[in-house]
Amino acid sequence: MAIYKIVGVVNFFLGIFEVVFPLIFILFTIPRLTELYAEFQANGPNLIHTYIFLSILIVMGLGNFFLGFKLFSKFGYKEKYLKIAIIFIIVSFLLGGVFTKITSISIIMPIYNLSSEL
């Protein structure tokens, strides 16, 4: 019984992080950096890859959030959800870290190119 709650808590908090981080990135970071690149008339980053990776993170976060919620519920097939939740935790740590780093680097890298042009 305790294993379900522990895995549920981990999934729940991973889900919150994987939904909130991309939304902050999309709503605040990308528009400000895009304005900065436009102000200096520099070539900005290609945002298609960034939005794809952030969308994948949001979907993974919603899946983690759903599994965390299901493991806290009183009814349902908890054994089935437990196996899927553990797989989601592993995938979230591996792919979530990689996708977060790729999106951050792809947005910030043109700043270094901008400084070399000046």
Q: How far apart are CA 85 and CA 78, in angstroms?
A: 10
H/E stretch holding 105 reads helix 78-117
> Residue 22 — very low, low, confident or very high, per pLDDT cuts 50/70/90?
very high
Domain count, the chain: 1
Question: Quick one: tokens of 35?
Answer: 């304005």
Task: Give the CB-side neighbour count of residue 38, counting CA atoms within 13 A.
Answer: 6
Query: pLDDT for 28-67, tens place per residue?
Result: 999 998 898 888 887 878 889 899 999 999 999 999 999 9
For residue range 88-108, what is the model confidence (pLDDT) as tens digits? 999 999 998 898 888 888 888
Structural domain for 109, as ranges: 2-117
Q: pTM, whole model, 2 decimals?
A: 0.84
As a dihedral over the C-alpha atoms of residue 55, residue 106, residue 29, residue 35, rounded to 10 degrees, the angle is: -120
